[in-house]
Structures are given as C-alpha cells and as structure tokens.
C-alpha cells in the first residue's frame, strides 16, 4: 500500500536522543512523497481523500533511527487548507479506529 512520509523533530522516549522521526500517512497523492511541517500536500494520481478545510490524519511512526525503538502510538496530523500544520502523538487510544479511512474531515 502506498503512503507519504512526514518528518518531524522530537525526543525519542526510549533513548532520550533528539531525532528526526519519520511518520507514514495516507492522505493526498500517495506516491512516497516526503513532507515537513508547513508543506503543501500534492494531489494528482493515486489519491486518498480530497482537499478540505481541516483534516486530521492518522500517522504511523517508523522506528527510532538511533535505538530502533518502535513506538506503539499513532500521531494525529493536522492538515489545514491543504498545508501540514502540526503532528503530535494522539492523546486518545486511536481516534481513527472507528473510521473507514485513516483520516477524519473536520471541516469540508
């Protein structure tokens, strides 16, 4: 299955080192695009979802590049007006578990 990757700065809870965490997500043009916070999503082929005012997207973290710790949590990626606004560890068990997709359109 295709996905995109958002890279964020954070401290690994296992080794306490500052890392560049890669977070996989499925929204926009799924073509293994590499994104950073503030980037605009691409659309075109192999799309998941459609542009909306405000969307929450499930992000699945990759293992720590230094210690190999594989987190069990998911990330809540916020996309506003097609721009990746933020990404944070989800504070609920999994807000996306009850949905059909890996994203929730908050404002169309």
Q: What is the pLDDT of residues 22-38, one digit of tens each?
A: 999 999 999 999 999 99
Q: Read off the pTM.
A: 0.93
Q: State which residues of the chain have pLDDT below 70.
A: 1, 93
To the nearest 10°, the Cα dihedral for 94, 95, 97, 100? Answer: -150
pLDDT of residue 11: 97
Distance CA 93, CA 99 (A): 13
In sequence order, which residues have a C-beta less than 8 Å from that of residue 52 and are 6 or more positions away?
Answer: 79, 105, 106, 107, 108
The HSE-up count of residue 6 (CA atoms within 13 Å, CB side) is 31
pLDDT of residue 93: 67
Distance CA 37, CA 7 (A): 8
pLDDT of residue 50: 96
Look at strands 34-36 and 4-11 and give their pairing: parallel
């Amino acid at each position: 299955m295709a996905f995109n990757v958002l890279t964020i700065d954070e401290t690994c809870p296992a080794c306490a080192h500052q890392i560049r965490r890669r977070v996989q997500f499925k929204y926009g043009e799924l073509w293994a695009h590499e994104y950073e916070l503030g980037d605009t999503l691409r659309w075109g082929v192999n799309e998941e979802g459609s542009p909306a005012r405000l969307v929450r997207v499930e992000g699945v973290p990759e293992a720590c590049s230094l210690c190999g710790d594989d987190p069990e949590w998911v990330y809540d990626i916020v996309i506003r007006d097609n721009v990746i606004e933020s990404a944070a560890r989800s504070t609920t068990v999994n807000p996306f578990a009850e949905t059909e997709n890996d994203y929730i359109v908050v404002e169309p």
